[in-house]
Amino acid sequence: MYISDFCHIRSQTLFHSGKEIYKSAVGDLDSFLTDSFKALTISYPKFYKMDRLAKLGFLASEILIGKSSVKQNYNASQIALVLANAHASLDTDLRYLESTKTMASPSLFVYTLSNIVAGEICIRHGIKGENAFFVQPAFDANFMAHYVNQLLTETKTEMCVAGWVDVLGEHHDVFLYLAEKNKNGNAREHTGEELQKLYLSNYGSIDLQS
């Protein structure tokens, strides 16, 4: 099993395979998300209706597979999606709770489940394979490697989009990668050790405990 590509979204910066591809000049997360969407030249009006968690997952999936030909190698049912985070949908839950003080927001209520981000990614990219969402205290590289490897060996999954998509307030931490059954190019072995190295890359001045 192999890691064929990866990306990060941290400190209001987009990274692809370790290289910075866009950095925001503004000071707040919401503006960064909108500006990143425009910078990637994506045409998808529904993006503006998503919550922050869905937007982060959407942007990361666009970096990895939006304009690549990787999906052409697999049937939709052969592509899996496995995500995890620490705060579930709490960022949106708090916003929805605040809205109930005046008039409850139906548009926020739709996103008060952490796995909605997975649904948005699947709809966008036509993914119809296995999917799962886990809530954990921190990114668990060994767990992720084991779970995804099981999918690749015990199901009809041939490729998996996997990783960490977390947000709460201005804090945001995204690490998404592609795992494939067959080795392509300079792919790395899909192990917990390799995943941990990739997850910790591109951190810069970010507080790992935040």
Six-digit token pair at 97?
Answer: 């709770």
Q: What is the pTM for the complete model shown? A: 0.90
Which DSSP string do the residues of 16-38 spell out, in sequence order? ETTEEEEE--SSSHHHHHHHHHH
Look at residue 203 in the predicted model and tell me its pLDDT: 60
13-18 CB contacts, 8 Å cutoff, 24+ apart: 13/202, 14/39, 14/40, 14/59, 14/63, 15/202, 16/63, 16/64, 18/201, 18/202
| pLDDT one-digit tens code per residue, 90-145 | 988 898 888 888 877 888 888 888 899 999 999 999 999 999 999 999 999 999 99
Nearest-angstrom CA–CA distance, 140 and 102: 39
Residue 111, Cα to own-chain centre: how many angstroms? Answer: 15
Residue type, 182: N
Is 70 exceeded by the pLDDT of residue 183?
yes
As a whole-number percent, the residues of the chain with pLDDT over 70 amount to 96
Please compute the mean of the pLDDT values over residues 73-85 and round it to a whole number: 94
